[in-house]
């Protein structure tokens, strides 16, 4: 069962944050969580609200606009909203600081999907928050065609690398699948090319060493799923070769996936610069929303006794 009490939705009043709000409201309606609506007032930000009026008028305008789009529709359950305005040097530190101070369980935010030079110059707030937030982060790319409400979630993709972090992600995915009454697709990507040390022997691909690696990986996926706690749901197993982040994003587009749930290993400093993060790349490239679970910090499902003991050891 998903333990979700407080959802944070950063808003810059753009279509990107508006679509993220649809997902947050849907989750809040299903779980009873309260929704914190946050505007971060920072320098040099892309802000879709007039800021050339008196400070009192601006504050009132911000609180009014934060609540736009939250009106109940039909038989939707009542949701408690907490609007807030904070100041900081940049959006990501403001959002992360608020999440820490208010014990937020999940951040739901839009991603602008910047590419190329613009991304290099401005960076990505979503990717920085995925890396630094103390809780899971749900990033949402807006659809090509604007919608007024959230469409159904029928398939959740879970990339599996057989690590402890992947097991944590799978526990969350099982809880989300039960919440949305949907299926899971488990995917393992085989990194086909081997380290250059093998090249002198004429071995270039892992398939040369283990020809039946895909069959073995499918069996391992089945075992991994059975041994991971959570409600039983419909599940499909897949293995494909290639670069992990690219193949995950491509699979999502090819198989009508509605959400990706995956772990981020929390690389910091030099490790992050040298290796990057598969999760951050998936956030950047994925055509569908991505729910990232931290390798550290808060989880939204009960941890097994053994994992809890290891975390505190």
Give the pLDDT confidence of 40-58 residue by residue, as tens digits.
Answer: 888 655 555 545 444 555 6
Question: The domain that contains 218 carries what CATH number?
Answer: 3.40.50.620
- For the segment 17-41, the average pLDDT, to the nearest whole number, is 92
- Please state, in angstroms and as integers, the Cα–Cα distance from residue 200 to each residue in 77, 195, 197, 206, following that order: 64, 11, 7, 15
Collapsing DSSP to helix, strand or coil, 152 comes out as coil
pTM of the entire predicted model: 0.84
Q: What is the mean pLDDT of the chain?
A: 81
Of 101, 109, 31, the C-alpha closest to 301 is 31
Bridge-partner residues for 53, per DSSP?
none
Of 189, 133, 142, the C-alpha closest to 162 is 189
Q: What is the pLDDT of residues 223-260, one digit of tens each?
A: 999 999 998 899 999 999 889 999 999 999 999 999 99
Q: Are residue 165 and residue 66 in the same domain, yes or no?
A: no
Q: Are residue 163 and residue 311 in the same domain, yes or no?
A: yes
pLDDT at 167 over 60: yes
Q: Are residue 192 and residue 119 in the same domain, yes or no?
A: no
Domain extent for 80: 1-151
Q: What is the pLDDT of residues 120-155, one digit of tens each?
A: 333 478 888 988 899 999 999 876 654 445 567 899
Q: Are residue 269 and residue 187 in the same domain, yes or no?
A: yes
Q: What is the pLDDT of residues 273-307, one digit of tens each?
A: 333 478 888 988 898 999 999 877 799 998 776 55
User: DSSP state, 74?
Assistant: T
Domain end, chosen from 133, 151, 169, is at 151
Kindly give the residue spans of alpha helices, DSSP state H, lying in the chain: 15-31, 55-66, 91-101, 116-122, 125-132, 164-180, 206-209, 213-226, 244-254, 269-275, 278-285, 305-312
């Amino acid at each position: 069962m998903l333990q979700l009490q407080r959802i944070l939705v950063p808003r810059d009043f753009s279509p990107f944050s508006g679509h993220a709000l649809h997902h947050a409201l849907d989750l809040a309606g299903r779980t009873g969580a309260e929704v914190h609506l946050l505007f971060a007032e920072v320098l040099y930000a892309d802000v879709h609200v007039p800021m050339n009026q008196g400070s009192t008028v601006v504050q009132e305008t911000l609180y009014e606009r934060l609540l736009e789009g939250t009106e109940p529709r039909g038989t939707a359950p009542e949701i408690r909203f907490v609007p807030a305005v904070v100041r900081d040097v940049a959006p990501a530190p403001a959002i992360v600081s608020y999440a820490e101070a208010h014990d937020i369980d999940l951040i739901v935010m839009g991603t602008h999907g910047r590419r190329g030079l613009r991304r290099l110059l401005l960076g990505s707030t979503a990717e920085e928050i995925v890396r630094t937030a103390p809780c899971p982060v749900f990033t949402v790319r807006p659809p090509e065609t604007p919608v007024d409400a959230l469409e159904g979630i029928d398939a959740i993709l879970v990339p599996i690398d057989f690590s402890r972090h992947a097991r944590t992600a799978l526990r969350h995915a099982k809880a989300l699948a039960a919440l949305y009454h949907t299926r899971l697709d488990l995917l393992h990507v085989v990194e086909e090319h081997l380290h250059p040390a093998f090249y002198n022997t004429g071995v270039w691909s892992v398939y040369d060493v283990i020809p039946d690696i895909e069959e073995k990986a499918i069996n391992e996926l089945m075992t991994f799923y059975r041994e991971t706690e959570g409600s039983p749901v419909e599940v499909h197993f897949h293995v494909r070769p290639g670069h992990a982040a690219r193949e995950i994003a491509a699979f999502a587009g090819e198989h009508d996936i509605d959400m990706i749930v995956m772990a981020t290993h929390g690389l910091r400093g030099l490790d992050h610069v040298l290796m990057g993060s598969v999760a951050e790349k998936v956030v950047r490239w994925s055509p569908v929303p991505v729910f990232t679970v931290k390798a550290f910090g808060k989880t939204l499902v009960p941890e097994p006794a053994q994992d809890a003991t290891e975390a505190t050891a």
